[in-house]
A and B are shown apart, each in its own frame.
Chain A
Amino acid sequence: MRKLNASGKMRELMASYYMLGHQAEFNAWITSGAPVELLYAMDIYPVYPENHGALIGATKLGSHYSEFSEKKGFSRDLCSYARCDIGCVFAGTSPIGGLPKPTFLFACNNICNTVVKWYEVLSRIFKVPLFVLDMPFIRKELKESHLRYVEEQLYDFIDFAEKITGRKLEDSRLKEVVLKSLEGVRLYSECLMTARNKPSPMTCFDAFVNMAPIVCLRGTDHAVSFYREMKEELDERVKKGVSAIENEKIRLLWDNIPVWYRLGWFGKFFEERNACLVADTYTNAWTGFGVLKGDDIISSMAEVYTLSYLNIGLDRTAEVINRLIELYDVDGVVMHSNRSCKPYSFGQYEIQKKLNVPAVIIEADMVDERAFSEAQIVTRLEAFLEML
């Protein structure tokens, strides 16, 4: 696979992001689907335990840190992001020296209810306040009552954060951050969309590796300039006909969180078989966070964040995947049945039947390498590729 220069820059950018966290006056640990714009607008530094979990997975230390929490009694069946992250708290370190102690915690259950339990654990450990932004699950239609419920809580959250920090949320500053967030999301989406080209200049592995800024730095200039540069690099590849893999014959879509400790292995496996995973549902989920309708930021925020990819019913999930199948013109879908992520994985058996192209399901875990059975996965994937 041809590596993107952007990945090197991303590492530098994220290294300074993590370093800054230790200097911030106030920081909040936040879940990946929460409206981070509110924090940036109040100069509260956001810390992402999920991103930290992914980083630990990618450094193949998932089971190592998980064991610290397992020794304390946390079950091996729990989410491995949570397990290894809580493990790092007990270990007092991590591959990046641990996360800074939180001023407060901000959990939004538009990605799962697991984060509520995980953050309750953190709240007891650190003895700091926790704000839960409770999003109704939108199985069918989004109701006015749902929006009102979320909106009220967004105002509650602003009060909560203002009281803790003694700072005021200024409308103008919020607007500035939201516009940057929109711009970041737009450029990020354009990066992903370059994979519509045949051959594709990038793989979903490039997307996974380079997603951290859109998650953690959404609403800042850093994300905007990072994805602008990444887009230029990808455009350049397209112009010169440079493909991400040597010989793209089969185009595929990945579903679910990646198997972080096997990114390279999967990349090589597919490249050797002339298959390119051009896109995925995970990184695409952040392309949905960029809508601002009218002037009312809070009400737009309520709508956009309530309708996050994992907070909608399975019919709509299948529709989204079918749209991606069409958009990226893929021949098949590889679905990761992820033991750590029940809301992402339960329903895959049915979604598989609703897709417009063939799909294969492989079972693994995003961070815990003990749950990876290589032989079984190779057999499944080889049979699938042959069938395609």
Chain B
Amino acid sequence: MNLTLHVWRQKGPHDKGGFETHRMSDVSPDMSFLEMIDVLNETLIAAGKEPIAFDHDCREGICGMCSMVINGRPHGPEKGTTTCQLHMRKFRDGDEITIEPWRAKAFPVLKDLCVDRGAFDRIIQAGGYVSVNTGSVQDANCLPVSKVAADAAFDAATCIGCGACVAACPNGAAMLFVAAKISHLAHLPQGQPERHLRVTAMVEQMDHEAFGHCTNHFECGEACPKDISVENIALLNADYAKGALWAARPKQLSGDG
């Protein structure tokens, strides 16, 4: 296959950046998209040029590192697939392919196609966990979880935190990511004690991180490589209203003992 690539190049966070065009010949249709970039980088290195910086890790679709907007779609044209699992057979000989980084104020570009997704980590730190007291191990199955709840929790838990939802959202909102994390724990008994504190803390952090707001375009659900349902966002909205307005908050402790 012969391809023309328009790749975003940016030297660093403060560089203006721009597109660079590369023509590639004899691309194997069996290559993954990232392997195709690897081949391009080999030729760049051999020519003494700076290779294209891009994020990747497991290359088996489970780590959430790869992050490229390919022809206007995060993770490329194939639904429910990460960039690393996208193969060149999905393209045609002679195609022009535009490759851009995730575009969001909350995800600043570090270099070329690499962005800083630390904002997601800070949202998780704000409340995306359950507090577990130490002690001896509980009896297995002592907390009954219905099959329906377990499935719903697991579907949400498949979120790999790649940020494609933010990249796809016309408003640069992180609602699907936060919704997946909220829904994951809200369906399980372990998530109940901190349920409403969690949602208020995580939404507050999400707002603090300069993400946009949800206008229900549902582009996120289409872009998600794990096919996370936008119905989780409805759950997030309802839980937030309860958590922010009605739910009791722990009393402030006075003094330090």
Q: Do A and B bind each other?
A: no
Please report A residues at the B interface, Cβ cutoff 8 Å.
none
